[in-house]
Each structure stands twice: as C-alpha cells, then as structure tokens.
Chains A and B, each alone.
Chain A
Amino acid sequence: MTFDWGIIWHYRAALADGVAMTVLLAVATMLIAIPGGIVLALMRLSPLRPVSAASACFVEFFRNIPLILLVYWAYYVMPVAIGIEFSAFTTGLAALSLNVSAYNAETFRAGIVSIRRGQGEAALALGMSQWQVMRQVVLPQAVRRVLPVLASTWVSLFKDTSLVSVIGVSELAYVSLQIRSQTFRILEMLTAMAAIYWLLGYPQAKLVDWIHRRYGVSE
C-alpha cells in the first residue's frame, strides 16, 4: 500500500477554506448562544410560571436530543414547518445555536444562583431596580464564575461543528470528506482531518486550563 501525503498540500486552499468556515461557525454560534443562554437563564429564574416553564421546556428539549438529529431536523423539517428555506450555513448555525444556547442557559443559571443572596440585597438597599441589580451586580459576577465552563463548552462546540457537514456546510469535515471521495485517499484525508482538528483544538484546551486556573476559584 502506498501513501500520497502530497494530496494534503495539493488541496491546501480548500482545507484552509474549511478551517475558516469551522472557525466562523463556532464563533457565530457562541455570539448567538451567549446572549441566548443569558436570556433563557433569566427567563428560567423569572417568578412568572409560564415564562420559567417555557425556558425549562426549551432547555430540556434542545439539550436532550442528539445534535446530529437536530441538524437533520432543522434542514428537512424547518423549511416545511416555517415555509422558508434557509441556506445550509444558516440551518447549521441555527441548530448549533439552539443546542449551545440550551447548555449555556444551564451554565448561566447555575452561575446566577451561586451568587450570595446578600449581594442582591445590598444592591437593592441602595435603591436599585431588580434589573439593575441583575445587570450590575449579579450577572457580572456570575459570568466570571462560569467562564471556565463556557470555555469548555467552546472546545466541545469547536469539534461539534463537524456535525453540520451532513447537510453540506463546507466546513473542515465536509471539505476533507469531499476530497476523500474524489481522490479515494481515505487514510491520508482522515489523518489530515484529525491532525488539523487537533492542532486547532489543543491550544484552545490549554487556554481553557489557564482560564480554569485564573478564574476557577474566586473570593
């Protein structure tokens, strides 16, 4: 059996585009899922039952179905249900955002709940509104506290973006698999794909470790 590692160099432009798309997907997802998670967490903690129940249903639904199923579902069912067809990218982004928002909601909720009651009371005693208390005193502390968890979610998300290859979003996994089926260089392409994901993911994991050390314990 002979190997042709040159194939990777030959397709470097396409692979680079794939990497760019993977990064774009992960960044865009987080940009949606962080505010999304905060809104869901605040809804969950609302004293209004219907609001809190709606958030709980959302979170438990999107957290507990497999992401790949969600991707397929968004691609095939959403156009029929809503009547509008989105690009594969938008669909993939939507599926990832729903999933990660649900996870982030739980993360932020845990963070908010972990802030001592006295902190909110001290802010209320100054005459602040509930919303000012949340925005200026509770949320900033909660976000700091959950930073390590958000960082871990980011690392998982970065790899999970590969799942949207099933609907033809041209990110790294899709591009690699396309090249594989055109060239039949299965082993080379799968190895290259693994190596690229690892090279991108490893520094991120190290960064997460650093964030854990830096922000893990506070007060």
Chain B
Amino acid sequence: MNATVVLDYRDVRKNFGSFVALDGVSTRVHKGEVVCLIGPSGSGKSTLLRCTNGLEKLDGGTISLDGIALPDNETGMRDVRRRMGMVFQSFELFPHRTVIANVMMGPITVLRLSRHDARQRAEALLEKVGLSEKAESHPASLSGGQQQRVAIARALAMQPEVMLFDEPTSALDPETVGEVLNVMKRLADEGMTMVVVTHEMSFARRVANRVVVFERGAIVEEGPPSQIFDAPTVARTRDFLGHLGWHG
C-alpha cells in the first residue's frame, strides 16, 4: 500500500510498575486502512490504543500522527485527540444527557459549533447508525448494541481522521454484536482509517486490510488476513487462533 502513513509507531514501550505492557512495538497505519489488533488478554493491544490518544503516557519510543510525534503536554494532546475518535468497550455514554446531546457535546464544547450546526451533524450521524428515533432517549433505555452505535456516532461527530476501537463488541450480548460490526464495516467501506482491538476473528478476516497479532507486549506477526488466518507463518499465531477454536 502506497497511501500516506497516518499513525507511525516506533519502538513503543509502556510499563505498569514492573509489568511490561508494551515491549518495543513498531508498526504503521496507512490512510484508509483497517488494522485489527488481536491476541490474548493482557498482550498490550488495548494499551497501544490508549497510548495512541494519550490516555496512557509512553515510557519509550514515539507515536506520530501524520508525521508529527504526539506532544507530551496536556494542551497539545487535546488538539491531537479531537482528530482521533475513540470507542470504548463499555460504551461510556454520558448517562445524564440524551442520546443526541451525547453526540452534540464534542462539537459544541471542543469544536465550538453552534447548537444548530451541532444538532444537524448529530441528526445525520444518528441516522447513519440507524438510531434517529432514539435521539431524545437517555442512554440507559438503550440496548448495549444501540449504546455502542451512539458511541460511534459521538466519536464520528468530531470528524476524526482515524477511529480507534477498543474491543467494541466485548461487552455486548451476542445478538447485538452484529449491528455494531455492520456499522463498523460500513465505516471501513467509506474509507475511514480504523484501528480495531477485537476478539471477533470473523470481522478481522472480513474487514481488516492488515491483522497484527500481539503477545506479551510485542508483535508476533502481522500481515493480510489471508496470511494470518489461513497460513500463519509463526507458530504462536497458530496456537492463539487454535485456542479460539479457529480452524483456518
């Protein structure tokens, strides 16, 4: 792929006390690419995502967005965060606000859009995720899948250059996983740059351009899904997929 590099990770290191969460991770994410991070729990995938938008501070190495290293001050990081959308495992919608107010909050507070413009943008996004009729509801009255779709709309309202998904379907009932994955698939088809931490192997296989396999804070193997799922070159990738019951 010759597209421009959006995210560039170089020898990224992160420790939590004596636990090494990221042990020198280097990889790149190109414009329009969907990269799925897979691997066992605690292997560092989520940590890499959280480092990407500065929710965790690096202990070594660099992460660059569009060729510029992430700033290490809070004010600079704010400008970087508004260019990345983040979707969390536990949705984290704001329970005291209605669905549409959740989606409008970023554009109003951070981008200083007028209420009118923010509302228009939010209405369009809720329609996109198929939840227009829930605009005036409170998040607590929505199913998990619906809440996660609102969370995706909330992140998209900032018109980010890249979307980060941190196990977006892990907290969902099985019957609502599909609706969230469909929204993500459509987003990928529209050319959104996406980094997705996931345990949904069929999604990774179907949608990802590249799959990155993590273990113990390091990348074991990366490549197109056909390589990872059908002909893994590394034994540990085969082991991990075998544990998940994947018979590639």
Contacts and interface: CB of A to CB of B under 8 A. Distances in A.
A125 B85 CA distance: 7
Interface in A145-201: none
Contact of A122 (B75, B86, B158): B86
A115 to B, nearest CB: 10
A4 B73 CA distance: 75
A49 interface: no
Nearest to B84: A125
Contacts of A137: 94
B117 to A, nearest CB: 16
B154 A126 contact: yes
Contact of A127 (B55, B82, B92, B154): B82
Contacts of B158: 126-127
* Chain A contact patch, size range: 20 to 34
B18 interface: no
Nearest to A121: B55
B74 interface: yes
A127 B86 contact: no
Size bracket, chain B contacts: 20 to 34
B94 to A, nearest CB: 6
A118 B90 contact: yes
Contact of B92 (A119, A129, A219): A119
Contacts of A118: 88, 90, 92
A109 B86 CA distance: 28
Nearest to B106: A126
A122 B157 CA distance: 13
B105 A136 contact: yes
A136 B81 contact: no
A125 B94 contact: no
A126 B88 contact: no
B79 A121 contact: no
B106 A127 contact: yes
B47 to A, nearest CB: 13
Interface of B: 53, 55, 74-75, 78-79, 81-82, 84-86, 88, 90, 92-96, 105-106, 109-110, 140, 151, 154-155, 158
Interface of A: 116, 118-119, 121-130, 132, 136-137, 140-141, 144, 218-219
11 contacts: A116-B92, A118-B92, A121-B88, A121-B92, A122-B86, A123-B94, A123-B105, A124-B81, A125-B53, A125-B88, A129-B78
